[in-house]
Amino acid sequence: MPGPGWYLIGEDEIASVTEALSSGEISRYRFDGSLEDPSKVYLFEREFADTLGAAHCIGMNSATSALLSALVATGIGPGDEVIVPGYTFIASIAAVVHAGATPVLAEIDDSLTLDPQDVAAKCTPRTRAVLPVHMLGRPADMVSLTTVAEEHGLLVIEDVAQACGGSFRGRRLGTWGTAGAFSLNGAKVITGSDGGVLVTGERTVYERAFAFHDHGSAPLRLGVTDHGPLLGLNLRMSELVGAMALAQLRKLDHILDTLRARHDALASLLTDLPGVHLARSNDPAGHCATTLALTCDTAARARQMTEVLGTAVLDASPRHTYWRMSQLRPGAQRRIAGKQPFRVLPDTVRGTLPRTDGLLERTFALSVGVVDPYLGTGFGIDITTDDERLHEVAQAVREAAESAGPSPSQSVERASRGSGADQGDP
């Protein structure tokens, strides 16, 4: 399941990891506590923060850990509700549950991201935060979502696992909310082989998140935390992951430029498909272009096309579609170790989020940079694809659309012409 960064692993990554190994310092901390010879993780954190325009950054072992740390650091816990889209990766929901809060599922809109209007409708006196997820590298509408959050006094915590480097209206994703969480596993925009990142603009959140991710320590272990007896875990990023991620980060702009060019080239070949259109983007200039999403006029057309192409509609994913997540189904054990059964609101059965269901069963995504059948992007191109293969993929999609027959509007138009209605007949 490689992402674009995986395809570009080469001498830079090898040199960075080798340098870390050769130094004899394989922890993010230097044994003498000195920052004169900083670790690869420390350098990665500084450069990542600068790239995003964030004040604070913490390298972690996963995006799930970053989400959990953000929730804990902002004081979210038992009795609180956090609004999450019904189309997401299950980690977004799991982090809320492990923080002790209740996930509240909300609809997506035709951008395939969280619907601000449904967020407003789902707010209750218990709602503490909204957690937009930038799925498939596509930015959520952060202006509308932050406006709703401000009106209801909510925190915003962004799940940017699939959209590292993306932006909305010129501002990097992950910096709109109180905190943002990123993934560095092999299927993401850039990779450290694994790992995650938390960014925040608030010093107190940074200090509390750092303490939670490293046994209660103050940032960089320069003393103990001053924010109470926070019982932390060990969620640190390893030095070798930091070394690889640092080399990949320096390729981020090149990766995004390449993906966007390939996405636009492929999209230009897929205009005027019968019964198919490009899914709307909240910010075409800011999306990561790791995928190209196509929405059909009917679920039947989407199924027929994906069968021909050997891929699947978005609705089919057992880890991204709310009602298919086995851990969330009514009647499942719904328990985490040592804790009472958790709740997810509303019930996670098909039909609970009708707009989400309708969009996901009519939409499929072509790979542009993330080749992942598990996500539904098993067919398409990758960052190394040449023009000949790109045209072959576009032709295959066009033939699949045509084999599924005309759209209902085309059928009506043809029937109208056949009746002579356009020839002046009464």
- Residues noted as catalytic: 188
Whole-Å CA distances, 350 to 81, 142, 315, 354: 22, 27, 10, 8
How many angstroms separate the CA atoms of 168 and 190, rounded? Answer: 19
Query: Would strands 127-130 and 81-85 be described as parallel, antiparallel, or unpaired?
Result: parallel
Whole-Å CA distances, 52 to 49, 160, 172, 209, 370: 5, 12, 6, 18, 22
Among residues 210, 234, 236, 217, which one has the least CA distance to residue 33?
A: 217
How many angstroms separate the CA atoms of 120 and 371, rounded? Answer: 35
Q: Can you tell me whether residue 366 is helix, strand or coil? A: strand
Residue type, 66: A
DSSP letter for 251, please. T
Sign of CA dihedral 395, 401, 405, 411: negative
Are the beta carbons of 329 and 348 closer than 8 angstroms?
A: yes
